[in-house]
Chains A and B, each alone.
Chain A
């Protein structure tokens, strides 16, 4: 009972601060089986939040449904105080790398220019300043030498960087990334986290679905633990605890694994 009261108090606290993204009562199902059930989540502005949970816990679905990419059964989503529909231009989404056909005939620079779609619209010509800006985005992720390459010629890490460059091109306030570090080499991981931290320094908000428990505490400020329902939410020190992890992973985490993470008990 106490835990519930505490939880509610915490919730009230977070609501009063400015939320980059606020999700209320989100439920998503595939063929009558819930993937995400009645999730309330608040992602605070200017902070980096990790969404963590076991496989099939609905983490990607949570992101996609929040953006309206997959249909939801119920729930309300608002961003920067407005209904989601009005704030879409301020949000950049980086999908999972696997969802794309990398044999598609397009170059690295063309992919980044896709990020400028909201600005260019249907018919405006791509001018020098647009190309210049795309180059700068590629520079930030260390891929400017690869601009003319066809995307199928890139390694996994390089492809991930291009996706990030595309998101940077959108000049957004909120960045939602789906497993950006999955299957990338160490150098790419370093490059990406560097860019994300820069974004946070600029006052932007970053939310990542993250798969590697070992790096959560190093990279992020807040964490949202999800297993179809919200398990816990809040700043890392108070929320990323062994107890919460056990609850989220439902005993699927070996005790030794949690020990290795060296977490505070709470």
Chain B
């Protein structure tokens, strides 16, 4: 738009209009990015919960990927940078991320850092076998327990981003439905395992809640934390149990070395008892990021299906809704 008067006045107008246009153009973008809450979550399970509840309103970054052991995880500089820049940091607590405790408490003085699993009422928690005043942190193994954590995440998101309440509420409802279905599937499937075979032998004691909820006996080579070394005494003891009770399937875990389990199998073989690996379970970390097993529902689905099938129960090969990877 050229004015008919002097060039200086015209240039100034142009500048003003140009600036105005830019400002208008920028508005929607900044408005959009101002809406998205940046969340950093430690474990992939919490990251998944945040994504499910937050939907498009949150940008979630998980620190621990598939196969990563949260008991021994040490944050890298990139992780720390991400946490200090995020709007909110979600971690598990209950001494799961043992190497990050101090850092989280320090960071919590400066920004919202919430240990979401610690919101669970103490009466549903199991004690820790090594520390008297600590609890077993593996609460995600049972969907009804995990529900409490998801609700905690939901509350945090609303507090940090009140405008998104409606979205968060409806997302939560959807996800809770999924969890209910998951729980029902788990219960039904695991029930089909014959009584004599209801023993779950894993690399570490991650499945206590699982065992309690579904009536399965759990035996781990290492204790609740993978930081403790498996003693020879424990391995010998477990070999005797395997042979005595004719347990034929044991399970390795994606985030723990399978060495101890292989030693257990060799020990049993030396006594003439063949034990096979029933499958790999997702104990402390989920599956690959872009797969079904990389979501909470997929993780539990996989675990339940694998355990059921290996211990002589009946469950569909592709899991709850046919989405499990073939041959898992």
Contact between chain A and chain B defined by CB under 8 Å: no
Chain B residues near A (Cβ < 8 Å) = none
